Amino acid sequence: MLLPIESLLSAEEVQQCRQLLFASEWQDGAATAGGLARTVKNNFQLDDNSDNARRLQDFVLHRLRQHPTFVSATLPEHIYPPKFNLYQNGGHYGQHVDSAVMTLASGQVLRTDVSATLFLCDPDDYDGGELQIETRYGMQSVKLPAGSLILYPSHSLHQVTPVTRGQRLCSFFWIQSLVRDSHNRELLFDLDQSIQSLTITHGNGHEDVVRLSQIYHNLLRQWSMS
């Protein structure tokens, strides 16, 4: 499932992030890639251990945990601390798949179920730089407004096309979901969205809302068991 989440950050919040990013030092992105990905990666990346990176990580994580659509769609168990990258002057990232498991600084191992890209500049700010994701329906190109987020399965082949004008600034990260199976996770998301809609129309005490909520939580209880 490809799911765009609009306006995760406000215009003011995007600007604050950009100010910190432009005041930071960037490193060669290829140095942070593993395996075959290193040979197709041509961009810059913020040092995860820098003060600005840590401030931005905390801010983005706080906004994610507050956003009901993000929580409903991903059912996050663990979120890899957000990273930040910059593409310019033909920078690109060739077709690749994200690593199945990643190790946090604490030594904890995280399974990558869902990948996310948060756009920090508007489409008119740069040419190229589309995030292209291979799906069952073919290749999908994504280029969202600043402050918007795209979620997609981590097992998908994807790439970033060359940026031929301007600069493309983004944050990217991965989520280990409570529900490992992507199909089950999508069913729960659809069910939760229906419950929310019915709640607005009928109230949370309506018989159908209560019954569907019971089904949702019982499925989550079953599917989140490891």
Note whether 188 and 146 are same-domain residues.
Answer: no
Report pLDDT for 203. 92
Residue 129's alpha-carbon distances to 121, 142, 155, 168, 201, in angstroms, are 11, 9, 21, 7, 41
Residues of the chain with pLDDT under 70: 33-38, 226
Report pLDDT for 35. 62
Report pLDDT for 31. 76
Number of independent structural domains in the chain: 2
d(CA 190, CA 184): 10
206 is in an annotated binding site: no
Q: Are 199 and 207 in contact (CB under 8 A)?
A: no
Note whether 110 and 198 are same-domain residues.
Answer: no
d(CA 141, CA 158): 10
96 is in an annotated binding site: yes
Residue 177 CB partners (closer than 8 Å, separation 6+): 74, 75, 76, 77, 113, 114, 185
158 is in an annotated binding site: yes
168 is in an annotated binding site: yes
Predicted TM-score of the model (pTM): 0.94
Note whether 168 and 77 are same-domain residues.
Answer: yes
The last residue of one of the domains, among 140, 156, 177, is: 177
Report pLDDT for 36. 65
Note whether 65 and 141 are same-domain residues.
Answer: yes
Report, in angstroms and rounded to the nearest whole number, the Rg of the chain calculated over CA atoms: 18
Report pLDDT for 201. 94
Report pLDDT for 37. 66
Domain span holding position 90: 3-177
d(CA 190, CA 170): 28
Report pLDDT for 33. 65
**Structure token pair of residue 165:** 């004008």
- Domain CATH for 218: 4.10.860
Note whether 189 and 155 are same-domain residues.
Answer: no
**Structure token pair of residue 31:** 């140095």
